[in-house]
Amino acid sequence: MSALEEWGREATLWVTDEAPEGGVGVSANRVTRELGQEWGVVVFDACSGFDADAFGAVSGTVRGGGVLILLAPPLASWPGRASAAASPGAAGRRFVARMLHLLRGAEGVAVIPQEGTCLLPEEQVEVQSPTPRALEDGCRTRDQRAAVEAVLRVAQGHRRRPLVLMSDRGRGKSAALGIAAARLLAGGKRCILVTAPSRATAAPLFAHAARHLPDGHADGKGLRAGEGALLFVAPDALLQDAPNADLLLVDEAAAIPPALLGGLLRRYARIVFATTVHGYEGSGRGFEVRFRQQLDAETPGWRLLRLHTPIRWSPRDPLERWVFDLLLLDASPVSDDTLQRVSLGGVAVSPLTQAELAADEPSLRQVFGLLRLAHYRTTPHDLVQLLDGHGLETWVLSRDGDVVAVALVAEEGALEPTLATAIRAGRRRLRGHLLPQSLLAHQGLADAGDLRYLRVVRIAVHPAVRRRGLGLRLLHALQNHAQRQGMDCIGASFAASGGLLGFWRRGGYSAVRVGVSRGTRSGAPSLMVLQGLSVRGRLMVSRARERFHADFAHLLAGPLADLNTDLALALLRQRAPVVAERVGGDAEMLAAFAYAQRSFESAYGALWRLLHRQIANAPRPAAGPGEALLVSAVLQHRPWSQLVTMSGCRGRRGVIGDLRCAVRELLAREGDGAVAAALRELKPRTPAKQNGTGAGLVGCVANHVEGSDG
């Protein structure tokens, strides 16, 4: 405590389970509540374990001239006291050893043992200058002022010209959003929506808006001022409910699933994305690489603005630099130019043990940088797992020491029989062992626990060399390794998308399960794929695939009703051909729906059977807009409001028109004489153009069916 006396007059935050009497304390798992706050002193208690995510979050709350104090066991024995493998919320011995190595000689670091004698000279601890004073308009830097003005232009200027704000932490992005929102509400805007990974993430934005709206008052949903409101809405709720707004502000966009960001971009004509470049909960660099293409394609008038000047601390702050090095927040893969001539024949595949990674800082930075770039939400704890995760192994595809692709794998399975039985009955769950547990608990395959699996936890290919077969080359090497080790299956579980499914199918994998709930990180259901490597493994994959496809069509009408339609079709087409024979009267039902005025509901059963014959079994990679609409309406039972949005029609009547046209296309493809005969009985007239804007999307012509009199 004597070391605190020098800074005792500063506001102090204790990150610990046992704060001193009268101190402001928060546990590591609740530290996000403090984001946006500023503290003169932060005391981080690591004596019972170092939580890398919490440390990354709270380190950014120390203001210029402040101090971060790390309470730790004796340094000489700390790595040995850390667990051999990382546990939830606590770093393992390799991470701790690397941290101590980075502490030695780091600028602005003093080591104070229990007896109170500094092990580094005091002059190395440099007190940084205070934060800049506010400018006349309330902004703290010219960067921040430019950001506020850019947000105002999005709200008041031309539509469909999104703004992307990017900076490192402490540069005032969230404050700029809050200041701009306050000015817009004061100027008469009625509704500004805010979304972020969590409500806590958006708290600083609301705090700054309230500071600049003296007449505003907070309620359970946000901030209100006169007839205007600044409201928080979760990203998935925004897409589902689609409330109207004068402006949408997306804070920490890099930590929001890319699919949700794309949906918001299409839904809202005035939108601002703000994200941290080197954030502890998501990579802004990865966001920029992935999202730029979509912005270019859908809103070519978008603008990027970067904020450089720190607000909470001075440029080249030693604490910020050390935290970046410790958590590899600025780790990057090798440059694009270096890999321009990479080919399949010029690369080598090899494993890297955790000890080798911990001892090779350049390779560690390349591997983690590639993982951060490829996955939208990579956190400091992922670095902990990379170095200390139990049973985790890293494989790299490299050329001359440069990492081209990386895969993280884990061995699973060989479970004790009584444990496997308890998992199958739903009485037990294990940490890890995702593949066998899913087969036991969700598909009831009794002997799934006996088998040995290699799970590909994550795989990433450098963006500069994608679509050259390098990812499949790495997968094939892993398959050969797993076979040599006597594994029965190799598989993976990932956020479901049609593109990723195509990649794994090209590698010989089969989809065996889709999760019925959305992942908290990805916003998408998980998709599990397997490939058998042994006789027992191939039999297990066959049984799992059969069980999955027996249930999948029924799940589409219930828990998976909101599954992406193209992905649903890709999964349906993976199964063996479905026998969906017509029942008596189907031809007349279909003809009357497609060419007359038979209601959708009365033709529903015949439409279901038609879809399974013509769409689910067709060897085509993707659906046209009419087919996708049919799948959404008939197989997924989506509400009419969603179908209206999907089709671009003004109402249910327009959607029905599009559905009739889509059915005509399928009937023409089927070429069945029974439908032609039914048409002659109906003596239809060619209907006028339907009231849907998409009525002509699939070639809506009556004479496609043989025997139609047009």
- When pLDDT is averaged across residues 479-502 and rounded to a whole number, the result is 93
Structure tokens, 205: 């934005």
Same domain? For 198 and 280 the reply is yes
- Domain carrying residue 392: 341-573
> Could you read off the pLDDT of 647-690 as tens digits, one per residue?
878 789 999 999 999 998 888 877 767 777 777 777 645 544 44
Residue 422 and residue 287 share a domain: no
Q: Are residues 246 and 114 in the same domain?
A: no
* Residue 324 in domain: no
Total structural domains within the chain = 4
Separation of alpha carbons 594 and 668, rounded Å = 11
In sequence order, what DSSP letters do the residues of 105-149 get, joined into one string?
A: T-TT-----TT---SS-GGGSPPPPPPPPP-TTS-SSHHHHHHHH
- Both structure tokens of 700: 């809506």
For the cut 90, the answer to whether the pLDDT of residue 707 exceeds it is: no
Is 589 inside a domain boundary?
yes
Domain of 375, CATH number, reads 3.40.630.30
- For residue 129, the model assigns a pLDDT of 47
Sign of the torsion angle spanned by Cα atoms 605, 590, 617, 492? negative
Of 573, 598, 619, which residue constitutes the final position of a domain? 573
- Residue 482 within a domain: yes
CATH of the domain at 80: 3.40.50.11040
Rounded mean pLDDT of 457-478?
A: 93
Q: Are residues 149 and 291 in the same domain?
A: yes
Q: What is the pLDDT of residue 9?
A: 55
User: Which pLDDT band holds residue 188 (cuts at 50, 70, 90)?
Assistant: very high
- Highest-scoring range by mean pLDDT, 101-105, 406-410, 686-690: 406-410
The 10s digit of each residue's pLDDT in 565-621 is: 888 888 888 776 655 666 778 888 898 899 888 899 999 999 988 888 877 556 555
**What local confidence, expressed as pLDDT, does residue 702 receive?**
34
For residue 330, being part of any structural domain is answered with no
**Per residue in 521-551, pLDDT tens?**
566 789 999 999 999 999 999 999 999 988 8
Look at residue 122 in the predicted model and tell me its pLDDT.
43
Q: What is the pLDDT of residues 195-242, one digit of tens each?
A: 998 888 898 899 999 999 988 888 878 999 989 999 999 988 888 788
Question: What is the C-alpha to C-alpha distance for residues 173 and 276, in angstroms, rounded to an integer?
Answer: 8
Say yes or no: 612 and 500 in one domain.
Answer: no
Angle CA 538–542–546, to nearest 5: 170
Q: Clarify whether residues 513 and 607 are in a common domain.
A: no
In a domain, 320, yes or no: no
Query: pLDDT digits over 131-169, tens only?
Result: 565 666 779 899 999 999 999 999 999 999 999 999 988
**Does residue 333 fall inside a structural domain?**
no
Pairing of strands 247-250, 271-276: parallel
User: Residue range 257-274: average pLDDT?
Assistant: 90
Cβ–Cβ contacts within 10 Å for residue 606, how many?
23
Question: Looking at 573, 603, 623, which one is the last position of a domain?
Answer: 573
Would residue 432 count as lying in a domain? Answer: yes
Give pLDDT tens digits for 358-402: 999 999 999 999 998 887 678 899 999 999 998 899 999 999 889
Mean pLDDT of the 88-99 span: 88
Q: Are residues 608 and 526 in the same domain?
A: no
As given in the structure block, the two tokens for residue 392 are: 């985790």
Instruction: Let me know whether 291 and 228 are in one domain.
Output: yes
Task: Please say which residue of 98, 124, 150 terminates a domain.
Answer: 124
Instruction: Decide: pTM greater than 0.75.
Output: yes
Is 327 exposed, middle or buried (CB count within 10 Å of its CB: 0-12, 13-18, 19+)?
A: buried
Q: State the CATH number of the domain containing residue 660.
A: 1.20.120.890
At residue 479, does pLDDT exceed 80?
yes
Claim to verify: residue 490 and residue 455 sit in the same structural domain: yes
Mean pLDDT of all residues in the chain? 84
Q: Judge whether 636 lies within some domain.
A: yes
Q: Please say whether the beta carbons of 451 and 413 come within 8 A.
A: yes
The whole-number pLDDT of residue 230 equals 96
Based on the fold, state whether residues 366 and 511 are members of the same structural domain.
Answer: yes
Query: Is 553 in the same domain as 589?
Result: no
Q: How far apart are CA 330 and CA 226, in angstroms?
A: 43
- Secondary structure class of 551 (helix, strand, coil): helix
Dihedral angle, C-alpha 362, 368, 369, 371, nearest 10 °: 150
Give yes or no: residues 33 and 154 share one domain: no
